[in-house]
Structures are given as structure tokens and as C-alpha cells.
Amino acid sequence: MGATGYVGQELVRIISGHPGFDLAGAFASEGRAALADVPGAGGVPVAGIEALQQRIASASPGAIVFLALPHGRSQELAALLLGMGAKVVDLGADFRFRDPAVYERWYGETHRAPQLLGEAVYGMVELNRSQIVDARLVAVPGCYVTAATLAARPLIDLGLVREGPVFVDGISGVSGAGKSPTQRTHFVSANESVGAYALLGHRHTGEMVQNLGREVLFTPHLAPLTRGLSATCYLPAQPGLGDYQLRDGLRGYYQESPMVEVVDGPPSSREVYGSNRVRIHAAFDARTGTLLALGVIDNLTKGAAGQAVQVANLMAGYGETDGLATLGVWP
């Protein structure tokens, strides 16, 4: 659902090449459209919400529905689909928080399906793998949150970070803003320009606070890229660390996570372009007593559609990496 957006189109691309999933239908609220003019979409027809309900009613038990919708749009629809026996993977923000007050704080509206928040599983596979397997409803994390959490969370869990706030600088390609054009994403505004936005209040901040267990000051930036995302996290360090401790600790932490690669130098988003891989790097600055944790992802893949398929693989009993490219496109 939401097949005509950038994330929806990425889902169509990945699922169409998946060895186990069959694309049973593509749907959008406006309906009656087609993806024939979208490169790689293969002319997949798009139907409306009524057709989605009819398709679920005739589907075998355990069908999985991906909701690639703006925040606020999945709440009532998820309840309907779960009641019909489907499993739901929500790529929006509607089920990422257990507390409806926290959702309201960051999204400015009352949650309309609070009864589902306790059941929803947070869909960061590297942290919640075992919970996702048996879930009916999974909330895929935000793109900035994915890169920042996977880079910074291990350092906190390994006891390498002192108490204190975490600072995060994020840079994203223009596709992260979605398909609907705005003044900020207009070519003339975005081309040859890098600029911060949503100062002191970006909605992904609350998710980072939830994941890191610390106060977070997050500053996002828009860069003239189609896709790609980088997060640089600054954390107060325990004294006397060495870089070998950081890299060895990170590699041990992610030894069972095939989509995470720890590298010896700062990575670039181009290295993971078109893949579901995240590359992370960490360094210790003794002069300021600060840990740097860097993470890069493709915002449409590991930051959205690819991570959703990674989640669905676990829900359906497939291999975690099935249907997901492990290497980026280069050059």
C-alpha cells in the first residue's frame, strides 16, 4: 500500500526479484494508476484500497502487507488488516512508539489505534531479531534513526559511553523527503546546496532517544543526492579508549548481523548505494573525550524498503538476506 511513492516503488523492485515472495498486488489511496512509466517497475498495475481488502479476503493465511504511507495513515488500516488475518509491516511512524503520548509529542496528533502499540514490534532486525519472527505487526524504523542507532547503540551497550547527551548530524538525499515536491526539494533549491532543516525538532529525534536511552540533539541536512544517508554521532566517552577496542567491540556486537559491516575508515554513502547494507566506523578523540560513530545507508533501501523486506523475511521464515543485494552499486 503506497506503491506509487519512492519507498513503494523500491518495495516493488525488491519484492519482484525475491526468491520466495510473490507480489500479490500494488495499491495506492488514489488507485487506478500504473507504474509503467517508472524505470524498473515493470508496468505493475496499481489498484485502490477497496481492491486491497478484496485481495486480503481471498489470500491464504499469513499474507504480508507493506504499508508505505505517511504518518497517521496506517493506524486504522493496520487494525483492519490484522482483523482480516494479514501480517503488517508498517514503514511509517505510527507504531514505532509504545506510548501514545510520545507519538503525540513528536507528530502533533492523537494516536487512533493505541490498542496496537503494545503488540507492535520495533523492526530493527539487528536489535529485535527474535521478537520479529513471531510478530503480526512490525514498525520499520526511520532512515536517520537506522543509521544513527546502528552506529551508536553498540558503543553504549558495550559500556564505552559516559552519561550525557548524544549529538547527531545527519545528511540525506532528496528522495528521503518523499515524492511530493516542495520548495525545499525543488531542483533549484536542492542542487549545489547543503542545508540544515527541522532544527531542534525533527521527528526522528524521539526515536533516537528511545533507542539510545539518552537525550539526543539531532540536526538533519539535505544534500543534492538522489539517495544515500550519513549519520555522524558524538558521544561522551569513557576515558582511555583505543580505536582497536572500538572496532573489535563493534565487530563482536554485529557478528550475527550479515547486513552490518564495520570498516576501518570513515565510510561514504556511495559505498552502499542500492543495497541493504550499513557500513559503520568509530573513533575516539582523546583531546575532547568524545566518541565518533558514523553510519551510512541507502535511505530507500536499508532506511526503508530493504529493511522492511529484511523484517518480512523473518516473519515468513525465509533467510534474513533473501532477495536483498548485499553489495552496493559501484560506480
Active site residues: 143
Rounded CA gap, 296 and 303, in Å?
A: 10
220 near 177, Cβ under 8 Å?
no
Nearest CA to 1 among 38, 59, 58, 51?
Answer: 51
Rounded CA gap, 220 and 225, in Å?
A: 14
What are the phi and psi torsion angles at 92 (to 5°)? -90, -170
Residue with cell 488514489: 30
Instruction: Using CB atoms within 10 Å of the CB of residue 30, give its burial: 0 to 12 exposed, 13 to 18 middle, 19+ buried.
Output: exposed
CA angle 61, 124, 65 (to 5 degrees): 25
Which runs of E-coded beta strand occur in the chain? Answer: 26-27, 33-34, 45-47, 64-67, 87-90, 121-122, 137-139, 166-172, 195-196, 216-222, 229-236, 260-262, 278-285, 290-297
Rounded CA gap, 46 and 309, in Å?
A: 20
Distance of CA 309 to the CA centre of its chain: 11
Nearest CA to 209 among 222, 218, 199, 197?
Answer: 218
266 near 293, Cβ under 8 Å?
no
**Residue 45 Ramachandran class (φ > 0 left, ψ -120 to 50 alpha, else beta):** beta
93 near 84, Cβ under 8 Å?
no
